Structure 1
Amino acid sequence: MPRRSTQEWIRLSLRTPGILIFGMVFAPCGWILNLTATVAPNWRTLHNLPDLPADTFIQQGIWEICRANSIDTRADCTLEDTRYFGNQVIEVAQGLMVASLIVTLIGLAVAIPGVRCWRDRPNWVVAGLGGLLIFLSGVMVIIPIAWYTHILKEVTTVSDTTDVRVGYCIILGYIGGIFEIIGGFVMFIGICRCCGGKNRGETRIEEVTGARFSNQKRPTRRVEVPSLNRARSAASSIPYSKDSMDEDVSFPRAKSPAVPSINTSYGGRPYDVDL
């Protein structure tokens, strides 16, 4: 005979738990931001370069380098820089950013079957494993982004007059990585019950049954009310009469029909009694 656990838990609602919805929304958003940060050539921007016009600047990413200016919207992305791409941080960023995109997709594929879908209760182990993968993918993004930002001016040698600025890929990478870290961590904490089961939306059966018994309404007591339809006695102590009640009305009353006279005429002879 299987051993019964000391406490049993129950879900009062069949809705998908909030922590799983939170993770399944943040993870795809972070993946899109990381994809943009990976393919876009704007990890840093170099301005005031020697031997170049003042309105021309260089955009450097982890896959290509582009030259653009503030007047023309088109950019020339055929530039090559072996020293830049041979830097260790660039090689690490290429591998980790691509690996992060793949791991995020795997984490979503693992988490989707565990987020309830066609079941009454989520599979917390599967959903938590998917959240762990998403969490690791966010960490894999933050590592190269933080490293590149730390040595922003040391990736390649630049002149003292060159203005080195952070590109928008760094900002998108930070936001996307944080989204995945938060979303994956929130999904992973569902693998164990904590905070009294609130993270899973569960409640102890003892609490549910106790609340039901306490909320039962007691039957209302029937009270006999004496009837007020009693005949008025002749010796009433009320200081007004029935005639005054009839006169105290705020609307016209219908006229009572006239009483017919009892003195009728007839053509007989009068008798002495009539006189």
Structure 2
Amino acid sequence: MPRRSTQEWIRISMRTPGILIFGMVMSPCGWILDLVATVAPNWRTIHNIPNTPSDEFIQQGIWDICRATSTNTRAECNLQDSTYFGNQIIEVAQGLMVASLIVTLIGLAVAIPGVRCWKDNPNWTVAGLGGLLIFLSGVMTIIPIAWYTHILEEISTVTPTATVTVGYCIILGYIGGIFEILAGFVMFIGICRCCGGKNRGERRVDEITHFSHQKPPSRRVDVPSLNRARSTASSSVPYSKDSMDEDVSFPRAKSPAVNNSYNGTPYDADL
């Protein structure tokens, strides 16, 4: 029978590898956060606007602008500001954020058949390609958000920019982009086998064969001795060696003595 090659690998568990589980959980979470950051109108907030109530503020996103107050939960949206939407960063952010959402969905669609939770072995090439797409979608999210944050106070608008603060969309976008970058990177490293195959949950065939042929070391069992030392000074009853041998060896019970009476008639002593 031909000997197996030492380069062959085998799965040590039939469960889905941890790197694929991590990627398939983190990617949808990042996509949801990026979706909220894209559609919500709060990339930055302008406070202390001249000639307006002190509790009034304006929220500006990449698709819409809203005016609200701290005492009123309802906001007035669909405000027109051609100066704000004419900035280059707004056009870039609109394109990259939408492209990031689409690429993430494509990456998940590619990665799911590669993960193959219902099969014995995943298709690491297909799963890694899906992870690469998810990684690129995270990068496309981080680029406009980081650019927007860097020039936060320099973005022109018709509204007087008295006090400008970062909106929650920036925070959600950062978190979502990082989630997708980590998920895509972890899934992509499954293409190459590293760390002795631990990233794939695999081990070499010769290692498993080597350990399976090794016999476990024999255990030493200490049996207590039945020959105990006797002290003649502590006991007044003499014991013979033969009696001790009989006690230790547990002989079979003796048969009852046969009455050898004459002609079957019992003696008087027997009565």
TM-score (norm 1): 0.78
**CA distance in 1: counterparts of 2:220 and 2:69, whole angstroms:** 88
Corresponding position: 1:105 with 2:105: yes
CA drift at 1:116: 2.5
State the Cα deviation string for residues 34-87 of structure 1 (Å, max 9, x = none): 000000000000011122111110000000000001111100002110111111
**CA distance in 1: counterparts of 2:218 and 2:90, whole angstroms:** 77
**CA distance in 1: counterparts of 2:149 and 2:219, whole angstroms:** 74
In the superposition, relative to structure 1, how do residues 221 and 26 fare at CA in structure 2: closer, same or farther (>3 Å)?
Answer: closer
Match among 236, 239, 242 for residue 241 of structure 1: 236
Contact 2:44 2:164 in 1 (8 A): yes
Match of 1:58, SS state, is strand
- Matched letter for residue 10 of structure 1: I
- Matched length: 234
CA drift at 1:114: 1.1
1:201 corresponds to: 201
Match of 2:152, SS state, is coil
**Gapped runs of 5+ residues in structure 1?**
229-235, 244-275
**CA distance in 2: counterparts of 1:144 and 1:223, whole angstroms:** 75
**CA distance in 1: counterparts of 2:127 and 2:121, whole angstroms:** 12
CA RMSD of aligned residues (A): 2.6
**CA distance in 2: counterparts of 1:40 and 1:131, whole angstroms:** 27
**CA distance in 2: counterparts of 1:99 and 1:165, whole angstroms:** 26
1:173 corresponds to: 173
Match of 1:177, SS state, is helix
**Gapped runs of 5+ residues in structure 2?**
239-271
Corresponding position: 1:217 with 2:212: no
TM-score (norm 2): 0.79
In the superposition, relative to structure 1, how do residues 121 and 83 fare at CA in structure 2: closer, same or farther (>3 Å)?
Answer: same
CA drift at 1:91: 0.6
Question: Kindly, what percent of the aligned residue pairs are identical?
Answer: 73
**CA distance in 2: counterparts of 1:148 and 1:98, whole angstroms:** 16
CA drift at 1:219: 6.4
CA drift at 1:213: 2.1
Highest Rg: 1 or 2?
1
- Matched letter for residue 68 of structure 1: A
- Matched letter for residue 20 of structure 2: L
**CA distance in 2: counterparts of 1:222 and 1:194, whole angstroms:** 44
Match of 2:120, SS state, is coil
Match of 1:164, SS state, is strand
- Matched letter for residue 27 of structure 1: S
**CA distance in 1: counterparts of 2:175 and 2:97, whole angstroms:** 14
**CA distance in 2: counterparts of 1:161 and 1:10, whole angstroms:** 63
**CA distance in 1: counterparts of 2:69 and 2:217, whole angstroms:** 81
